Amino acid sequence: MMYRSVSVPIITYGIAVWYRILTKVVIKAQKEALLTITRAYRERWDTYTKGRWTYSILLEVADRVKLKWLDIGYHPTQFLTRHCNFKA
């Protein structure tokens, strides 16, 4: 009885096809998870009672993300939320 060997190019092609399929599935799952998290955060941001002053400045979370010039580090956050103790 003779056995046929599977050549390396066929295996490599199969792996490449599965990789593309899995990549698309993972990217779709990541986008759906991000949308779910964003919706939950947005709902909490809209209904939470604290931080209303900051809310009045940045109503949309998506708008804040687009502000590349606004560095949200320690000091800007302390200043925006009025939690700072900067000595003049």
Question: pTM score, two decimals?
Answer: 0.50
Q: What is the mean pLDDT of each run of 10 residues along the chain (88 residues)?
A: 58 79 90 89 85 75 73 76 70
Tokens standing for 77? 């956050």
Q: What are the residue boundaries of the structural domains of the chain, listed by start?
A: 1-48, 49-88
- pLDDT of 45: 82
Predicted pLDDT of residue 30:
92
Three-state SS for 87? coil
Q: What are phi and psi of 42, to 5 degrees?
A: -65, -40
Helices (H), 1-88: 8-47, 52-57, 61-66, 74-80
Nearest to 77 by CA among 59, 58, 63: 58
